[in-house]
Amino acid sequence: MNNEADSRIIVDDFLRQAHWDPRDKSQVLTEYYVKKETSKRGRHRNEIISEPATEEYHAGRADYVLLDSHGRPLAIIEAKKSAIEPYTAKQQALPYAKSIGAPFIFLTNGELIYFWDYQNDDARMVNSLYSRRDLERIVHQRKERKPLATISIPDYYLRQGEQRKVRDYQQEAMRALDHALELGKRRFLIELPTGTGKTDVVALYLKRLFDSGRAERVLFLVDREQLAKQALEALQDVLSEHSSYWLKPGVVKEEKEITVCLLQTMIGRYQEFTSGYFDVVIADECHRSIYGAWQTALTHFDAVHIGLTATPAAYIERNTFEFYNCKNGQPDFTYPLLEAFKKDYLVPYKFASGITVLIAEGTDEYDPEKFEREWTNADTNRKFVEEFERLAWQTYKDQAPKQRVGPGKTIVFAITKRHAARLAKIFNEMHPELNGRYAEVITSDVMNADELIRKFKREDYPQVAVSVGMLDTGFDCREVLHLLLCRKVLSPILYQQMRGRGTRTAPHIGKKYFVIYDFFGNHKYFNDSDADIFAGHGGGHGATPGGTLPKPISEKELIELGLKDEWLEAVNYIEVGPEGERVDKKQYVTNWEQVIRERVNDDHLLRKVRDIKDPEKDGLTSKEEETLAKNLNQPEMYFNEDNLRRAYKEPGGTLIDFIRRALGMIKTKSKEEVIIENFHAWLVTKKFTPEQAQYLNLLKNRGIVRGELKVADLFEPPLSILNAASLGTELFGEQGLKDVIEEMNNAVFAKAG
Query: What are the start-end ranges of the H helices in 239-377?
Result: 263-269, 286-289, 295-299, 318-323, 337-342, 368-375
Cα–Cα distances in angstroms (integers) from residue 260 to residues 191, 228, 303, 628, in the given order: 21, 7, 16, 20
Residue 5 has pLDDT above 70, yes or no: no
Same domain for 266 and 169, yes or no, is yes
Q: Tell which of 544, 565, 586 closes a domain.
A: 565
Whole-number percent of the chain with pLDDT over 70 = 87
How high is the pLDDT of residue 37?
53
Banded model confidence at residue 549, pLDDT cuts 50, 70, 90: very low
Banded model confidence at residue 568, pLDDT cuts 50, 70, 90: very low
Residue 717 has pLDDT above 60, yes or no: yes
How high is the pLDDT of residue 83?
76
Q: Which of 71-85, 193-207, 307-321, 578-592 has the highest mean pLDDT?
A: 193-207
Same domain for 353 and 482, yes or no, is yes
Cβ neighbour number for residue 140 with a 10 Å cutoff? 12
Q: What is the largest CA-CA distance in the chain?
A: 100
Q: Tell which of 294, 315, 341 closes a domain.
A: 341
Compute the average pLDDT of residues 657-677: 83
How high is the pLDDT of residue 427?
97
How high is the pLDDT of residue 540?
40
Q: Which of 410-424, 644-658, 671-685 has the highest mean pLDDT?
A: 410-424
Same domain for 130 and 107, yes or no, is yes
How high is the pLDDT of residue 579?
81
Same domain for 647 and 698, yes or no, is no
Residue 359 has pLDDT above 70, yes or no: no
Whole-number percent of the chain with pLDDT over 90 = 49
How high is the pLDDT of residue 705?
82
Q: Tell which of 662, 693, 725 closes a domain.
A: 662
Same domain for 392 and 496, yes or no, is yes
Three-state SS for 168? helix
674 or 196, higher pLDDT: 196
Same domain for 210 and 307, yes or no, is yes
Same domain for 473 and 614, yes or no, is no
Query: Who contacts 353 (Cβ-Cβ below 8 Å, separation ≥6)?
Result: none
Compute the average pLDDT of residues 678-683: 82
Q: How many residues does the chain have?
A: 753
Cα–Cα distances in angstroms (integers) from residue 253 to residues 132, 236, 249, 275, in the given order: 18, 18, 10, 16
How high is the pLDDT of residue 702?
85
How high is the pLDDT of residue 553?
44
Banded model confidence at residue 119, pLDDT cuts 50, 70, 90: very high
Compute the average pLDDT of residues 262-268: 87
Same domain for 721 and 620, yes or no, is no
How high is the pLDDT of residue 539?
42
Of 272-276, 472-476, 706-710, which gets the smallest average pLDDT?
472-476
Q: Which residues pair with 245 in a beta bridge?
A: 259
pLDDT digits 0-9 by tens, 298-341: 889 999 999 998 887 777 777 778 888 888 778 899 999 999 99
Same domain for 139 and 164, yes or no, is no
CATH number for the domain spanning 449: value is 3.40.50.300
How many Å apart are CA 377 and CA 220, to the nearest integer? Answer: 43
Compute the average pLDDT of residues 95-99: 89
Residue 91 has pLDDT above 60, yes or no: yes
Banded model confidence at residue 85, pLDDT cuts 50, 70, 90: confident
How high is the pLDDT of residue 471?
82
The mean pLDDT value of the chain amounts to 85
54 or 37, higher pLDDT: 37
Radius of gyration of the chain (CA): 28
How many Å apart are CA 164 and CA 155, to the nearest integer? Answer: 9
Residue 544 has pLDDT above 60, yes or no: no
Compute the average pLDDT of residues 626-638: 89
Residue 180 has pLDDT above 60, yes or no: yes
Banded model confidence at residue 399, pLDDT cuts 50, 70, 90: very high
Banded model confidence at residue 36, pLDDT cuts 50, 70, 90: low
Nearest to 445 by CA among 422, 470, 465: 470
The helix-helix angle for 225-238 and 198-211 (nearest 10°) equals 50
Same domain for 486 and 591, yes or no, is no
Banded model confidence at residue 561, pLDDT cuts 50, 70, 90: very low
Same domain for 323 and 174, yes or no, is yes
Banded model confidence at residue 287, pLDDT cuts 50, 70, 90: low
How high is the pLDDT of residue 213?
94
Of 295-299, 366-370, 510-514, which gets the smallest average pLDDT?
366-370
Domains held by the chain: number: 5
Banded model confidence at residue 288, pLDDT cuts 50, 70, 90: low
How high is the pLDDT of residue 550?
33
Tell me if the pTM is above 0.75.
Answer: yes
Cα–Cα distances in angstroms (integers) from residue 330 to residues 194, 320, 702, in the given order: 18, 11, 35
Cβ neighbour number for residue 156 with a 10 Å cutoff? 9
How high is the pLDDT of residue 531?
87
Do residues 641 and 592 touch, judged by C-beta distance below 8 A? no
Cβ neighbour number for residue 530 with a 10 Å cutoff? 14
Same domain for 110 and 258, yes or no, is no
Compute the average pLDDT of residues 590-606: 94
Banded model confidence at residue 519, pLDDT cuts 50, 70, 90: very high
Domain, as residue range, for 412? 347-565
Compute the average pLDDT of residues 195-199: 91
402 or 561, higher pLDDT: 402
Banded model confidence at residue 563, pLDDT cuts 50, 70, 90: very low
Nearest to 483 by CA among 399, 561, 565: 399
Do residues 746 and 675 touch, judged by C-beta distance below 8 A? no
- Beginning with the edge strand found earlier in the chain, give each strand of the sheet holding 113-116 in spatial order: 44-49, 28-38, 58-67, 73-79, 104-108, 113-116, 124-126
How high is the pLDDT of residue 293?
57
How high is the pLDDT of residue 490?
76
Of 88-97, 293-302, 446-455, which gets the smallest average pLDDT?
293-302
How high is the pLDDT of residue 60?
63
pLDDT digits 0-9 by tens, 58-70: 556 788 999 999 9
How high is the pLDDT of residue 557?
44
